[in-house]
Amino acid sequence: MGSEERSTAGEFEFDIGVFNLDERGLDAQPFGIIRLDREGTVLSYNLYEERQARRNRQDVIGKNFFTDIAPCSRVKAFHGRFLAGVEQRELKATFGFVFHFPHKTRHVDVSLFYKAAARQQDDAVWVFIRG
């Protein structure tokens, strides 16, 4: 699976209520949702993304998104933003990205949002994938 960056998407937009949803609520959303810890380990992987990527969540959760799941995302536009956001504990970005899966090419808009918690080790980076 390879990827390349495409033109920048529009303004960052999402429903902040998604942060309060349980796994069933995340599964009900009509777009991909992946929750990562500060190291990039997948904590949540919703049903929409599971179907689009054709990857079972039990094979994804607990693995590093950037090295084990989507190494194609280990580019400045994606991983670089993630690392800067983790360092600053602040991230709000939307950009276009192309995933090349064996079954299809997927042009998407990726939104990254850093959600700080009371304890830094409990912080999360939310990845929203539309398209």
State the chain's mean pLDDT as an integer.
Answer: 89
Mean pLDDT of 99-118: 92
Retrieve residue 53's tokens. Answer: 């990527």
Which residues, including other chains, have CB under 8 Å from residue 108's CB and lie 6 or more apart? 32, 96, 97, 98, 99, 129, 130, 131
Which residues, including other chains, have CB under 8 Å from residue 19's CB and lie 6 or more apart? 115, 126
Domains contained in the chain, CATH given: 2-9+22-130 (3.30.450.20)
Mean pLDDT of 85-106: 92
pLDDT of residue 19: 87
**What residue has token string 């800067």?**
84
Q: Binning pLDDT at 50, 70 and 90, where does residue 104 land?
A: confident
41 by DSSP, 3-state: which? strand
